[in-house]
Every structure is written in structure tokens, then in C-alpha cells.
């Protein structure tokens, strides 16, 4: 079994999945903030994107520059087959971990 993804990595991958065709840095940042319900440092998101790309869990392509970005290009991300498999595996592992335990846990559980 490959290394399981960390919670932040899962949040970034899921933000890419949810953003679909519009998954670029800013939309991923906002997706992660929405999912975690807190502000997130942009640097942490981009460092994670780079790491996931070097692990080949996501791929990227450059888009066109637009006026609202002062002509600067966007980098669009998409999940690879390995990325989807890693996400599935992480979810399955978490579910297996919780199997048999009552939820939510009470005090002294």
C-alpha cells in the first residue's frame, strides 16, 4: 500500500476535483479554505500542489493570461489516475479505521 495522503493533501486534491475544469491556484486555495473552514496560507497550498505534482498525483498545464490578472497566465491542475487511486485508498483506509466504532464518540468511549 502506498503512503496514505495527509489531511491537507486530501483537502487540496478534493478542491481540484470539485473545481473541475476551473481548478487553478486561486480556486484551489479558496476550495481548501472553504473545506477546512479557516484561512490558509497560499504558500502552503502551492507547496502541496508542487509536492503532489512531483508525486504525479496531479498534472498541470498553463492557460492564457487575462486582464483581471494583469495578463499573467493561470496554471490549471487536474487529478491523474494515480491521484484518484490515492484519494480512494485514503478514504477507504479511514473508513476501515472507523469500522465498528460508534460515532460520535462520547466521553470515556
Partner 1 sequence: MMNGRPPRWFEWMLMSVLPIRDRETISGDLFEEYCQERLPRLGRLRANFWYVRQVVGFAVIRLVWGPFMKKALFAISLFTIAAGCWLAVMENVLKHDGHGGRTVLDLLIAAQGVVTVSVILFRAGSLLRLVAILGAIAVAWVGGSALWNILRATHFEGFVVVIGAALIAQGILTIAAFVRPHAIR
Phi and psi torsions of 3, nearest 5°: -55, 135
43 binds partner 1 (CB under 8 A): yes
Told to check if 72 binds partner 1 by CB under 8 A, we report: yes
Positive or negative CA dihedral for 67, 73, 26, 76?
Answer: positive
For partner 1, the binding residue among 1, 21, 41, 109 (CB under 8 A) is 41
The residue among 6 and 98 lying less far from partner 1, judged by its C-beta, is 6
Q: Does 4 bind partner 1 (CB under 8 A)?
A: no
b/e per residue 7-35 (b: at least 16 CB within 10 A): eebbbbbbbbeebeeebbbebbbebbbee
Q: Looking at 7, 69, 93, 98, which residue binds partner 1 (CB under 8 A)? A: 69
Q: What's the min distance (Å) between Cβ of 28 and partner 1?
A: 9
Amino acid at each position: 500500500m502506498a503512503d496514505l495522503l495527509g489531511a491537507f493533501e486530501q483537502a487540496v486534491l478534493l478542491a481540484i476535483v470539485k473545481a473541475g475544469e476551473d481548478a487553478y491556484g486561486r480556486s484551489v486555495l479558496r476550495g481548501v479554505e472553504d473545506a477546512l473552514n479557516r484561512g490558509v496560507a497560499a504558500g502552503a497550498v502551492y507547496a502541496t500542489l508542487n509536492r503532489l505534482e512531483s508525486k504525479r498525483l496531479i498534472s498541470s498545464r498553463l492557460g492564457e493570461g487575462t486582464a483581471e490578472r494583469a495578463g499573467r497566465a493561470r496554471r490549471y491542475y487536474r487529478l491523474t489516475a494515480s491521484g484518484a487511486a490515492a484519494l480512494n485508498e485514503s478514504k477507504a483506509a479511514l473508513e476501515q479505521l472507523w469500522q465498528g466504532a460508534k460515532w460520535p464518540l462520547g466521553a470515556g468511549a
